Structure 1
Amino acid sequence: MLSLIDAHHHFWDPRAHYYPWLNDAGHPPHRYGDHSSLKRPYLPADYRRDTAGFDLVGSVYVEAEWDPRDPVGEMRYVASLREQSGLPSVAIGQAWLHQPDAAATLEQLAQFDFVRGVRQKPRANPAPGGAPGGMTDGAWLKGYAQLLPLGLHYELQTPWWHLHEAARVARDFPDTRIVINHAGMPSDRSEAGLKAWRAALAEMAGCPNVAIKISGIGEAGGHWRLDANRRVVLEVIELFGVDRCMFGSNYPVDGLCASFRTIFDGFAQIVQGFSEGERSKLFVENAQRVYAI
């Protein structure tokens, strides 16, 4: 039985709460394709079913694009789930760092003893090139500066072509931890695409305050291929080292691509040549330390 802390997962109930991407008709498809099958409740009991057969040591809930008008409400909901089910262990809240009320939102989120950081997907271009992204905005940077005093870190989900902007932020705020989501999003699996992704990720790896989650590495069309993901997993670990990498399921979103078991058995197979101590760090200890579980 594989022991693990799942460093990235979600719960939601679109019948009871508002999630624009789940509730609004005509919302663009997910990067994996049609996501209509996700427009249903996914609750701790469902997650327990999907993780059956694993020794789940802990889990990290990541904001699920809940109603952006009420980010604190999402953490109240998570608090109720924790009371009812014991899951998740800790959580990452939603905060719009560029908005005038960012400081007040962050202060309220920090009052939940299980909240460890925040995620907001900064403004990004749909392809390499173009105007600078949201991490260059003065208002965004002002909000970002509020994280460290409140004991919060930043979860970064952005296309790899904006990672040079994130590296600048990491260097300018060396005491604020950044955790990259979804392996830096290597969406283009061509040789040229993977080389560009690796080069961008290497700049982030040079910042000691940056860690990374190997999660959400399915492909457009809903595929989770061991042969394709092996290179991604191993190159991330090569760049960041065993001590700064964690595995996450991105469930239930990655249920569009594969079962929970397929994903974690795949991770286990890819790193089977690592030492027992290294595997323990990748599957449990690093997440335990980074998220203070």
Structure 2
Amino acid sequence: MATNDEWLGKVREEIIAPDLPIIDPHHHLWDFPGSRYMLDELNADTQNTGHNIRATVFVECTAMYRAEGPEHLKPVGETEFINGIAAQSASGLYGEMRACAGIVGFADLTLGTAVDEVLEAHIAAAPRRFRGIRHASAFDDSPEVRPTHTNPPPGLFGLPKFREGFARLAKYGLSFDAWLYHHQIPELTELARAFPETPIILDHFGGPLGIGKHAGRRSEVFAQWMTDIVELSECPNVVAKIGGINMAVNGFDWHKRDTPPTSDELVAATGDYYLHTIDAFGPNRCMFESNFPVDKLSCSAPVLWNAFKKIAQGFDAEEKAALFHDTAKRVYRLG
């Protein structure tokens, strides 16, 4: 869905704690037909917001795959593209914020041990910035829930070939970003227990769904989600990105309103997801994420980061530093 800057501009707020350093650990860049989000747009949503966003981490989204060559190596084109964007940003000509200081790419882990060639190609394409792999597993049998971009089968994390490929990540010192839906969280917990040496990052709270057969069942979904999050948090190799809950699949329908939500409305609707996850994992294993431009469908960057700061108001300075900056810096090994 296309974002609408004019609509987003209907809500403007004074920036809270404008000096607080931030690393945004999850955003995308792309130039798709009818949808463009490149360095200029990213800068507008970071350096021009009033919030002190110092650096970002890019996460794969099928942008700029190679047009030619072996199929399994085509995703390396995305890393080549993003490393170029990162070099642009690192020149300092576009401001102080360092875009794509870390890069998370895609490799088909069902290749098994043959995935080594892909991992090595990603690292060679961005040796200073490549940090991990995301092989999205988000699957739901509700026809209203579109398959995620990797078109995964159900039970991806348990497939022998997937686990064979997953086992290769530790050899290269790479982390794994997990994008799934809420009812798949126990599958991720099993994976984390099986590979305790591999750092795993839970994206978007584990994708609590609010559409299709899950519509109208938010309390029921939330109750089970709470239990599953606590169980997952017992795996010390897992950390959580807290954000990415304003997508259409989450079912809050912000994008259908005449005006976008305020930060207070975002906190009222979603704050319990944040506080429960922080309570389970602890601030040192949580990091606020924008998930832009996907969440930009629902709210502007200034409003979103204001909401995060309101959610974090009860934490001390050290805990806030972890939530907004330090956890991301440590997990993605940013300079």
TM class, shorter-chain normalised? Answer: 0.7 to 0.9
Determine helix, strand or coil for the equivalent of 1:89: strand
1:279 aligns with 2:320: yes
In 2, the alpha carbon distance for the partners of 1:123 and 1:58 equals: 27
1:92 aligns with 2:104: yes
The answer to whether the 8 Å contact 1:176/1:209 transfers is yes
Q: CA deviation at 1:251?
A: 0.6
Match of 2:75 in 1: 71
TM-score by length of 2: 0.76
In 2, the alpha carbon distance for the partners of 1:232 and 1:244 equals: 15
Q: Which amino acid aligns with 2:116?
A: A
The answer to whether the 8 Å contact 2:58/2:104 transfers is yes
Q: CA deviation at 1:247?
A: 0.6
Match of 2:132 in 1: 117
Rg bigger for which structure?
Answer: 2
Segments of 4+ in structure 1 off by > 3 A? 66-69
Q: CA deviation at 1:222?
A: 3.5
Q: Which amino acid aligns with 2:310?
A: Q
The answer to whether the 8 Å contact 2:107/2:134 transfers is yes
1:203 aligns with 2:235: no
Match for residue 107 of structure 1 among 114, 120, 127 = 120
Question: Would the alpha carbon gap of residues 11 and 122 (structure 1) be closer, same or farther in structure 2, given more than 3 Å must change?
Answer: same
After superposition, the C-alpha distances for 1:67-100 in whole angstroms (9 at most, x for unaligned) are: 4941100000011111222321111011111136
Q: Which amino acid aligns with 1:291?
A: Y
After superposition, the C-alpha distances for 1:20-69 in whole angstroms (9 at most, x for unaligned) are: xxx5xxxxxxxxxxxxxxx3221111111112212122110000133494
Match for residue 48 of structure 1 among 31, 34, 43 = 43
Match of 1:59 in 2: 56
In 1, the alpha carbon distance for the partners of 2:221 and 2:137 equals: 22
Q: CA deviation at 1:123?
A: 6.1
In 2, the alpha carbon distance for the partners of 1:126 and 1:65 equals: 23
Count, aligned residues: 267
Identical residues among aligned pairs (%): 32
Match of 1:5 in 2: 23
The answer to whether the 8 Å contact 1:8/1:215 transfers is no
The answer to whether the 8 Å contact 1:158/1:184 transfers is yes
Match of 2:329 in 1: 288
Q: Which amino acid aligns with 1:3?
A: P
In 2, the alpha carbon distance for the partners of 1:126 and 1:267 equals: 32
Structure 2 residues without counterparts, runs of 5 or longer: 1-17, 91-98, 143-152, 211-216, 256-260
The answer to whether the 8 Å contact 1:118/1:154 transfers is yes
In 2, the alpha carbon distance for the partners of 1:153 and 1:168 equals: 16
Matches within 5 A, 1:141-290: 141-188=163-210, 190-218=218-246, 219-220=250-251, 221-222=253-254, 225-290=266-331
Q: Which amino acid aligns with 2:306?
A: D
In 2, the alpha carbon distance for the partners of 1:125 and 1:106 equals: 28
Determine helix, strand or coil for the equivalent of 2:201: strand
Determine helix, strand or coil for the equivalent of 1:155: strand
In 2, the alpha carbon distance for the partners of 1:140 and 1:250 equals: 26
Q: CA deviation at 1:132?
A: 5.3
Question: Would the alpha carbon gap of residues 123 and 244 (structure 1) be closer, same or farther in structure 2, given more than 3 Å must change?
Answer: closer
The answer to whether the 8 Å contact 1:13/1:41 transfers is yes
Q: Which amino acid aligns with 1:279?
A: K
Determine helix, strand or coil for the equivalent of 1:161: helix
Question: Would the alpha carbon gap of residues 254 and 132 (structure 1) be closer, same or farther in structure 2, given more than 3 Å must change?
Answer: closer
Q: Which amino acid aligns with 1:209?
A: N
The answer to whether the 8 Å contact 2:60/2:134 transfers is yes
Q: Which amino acid aligns with 1:228?
A: A
Determine helix, strand or coil for the equivalent of 2:191: helix
The answer to whether the 8 Å contact 2:204/2:245 transfers is yes
After superposition, the C-alpha distances for 1:171-209 in whole angstroms (9 at most, x for unaligned) are: 111110100000111224721110111111122101000
Q: Which amino acid aligns with 1:49?
A: A
After superposition, the C-alpha distances for 1:128-154 in whole angstroms (9 at most, x for unaligned) are: xxx951011011001000100011010
Question: Would the alpha carbon gap of residues 242 and 123 (structure 1) be closer, same or farther in structure 2, given more than 3 Å must change?
Answer: closer
Q: Which moved further from structure 2: 59-68 or 262-271?
A: 59-68
The answer to whether the 8 Å contact 1:62/1:93 transfers is yes
After superposition, the C-alpha distances for 1:208-266 in whole angstroms (9 at most, x for unaligned) are: 00001012111432456220111111011011111100011001111101001111100
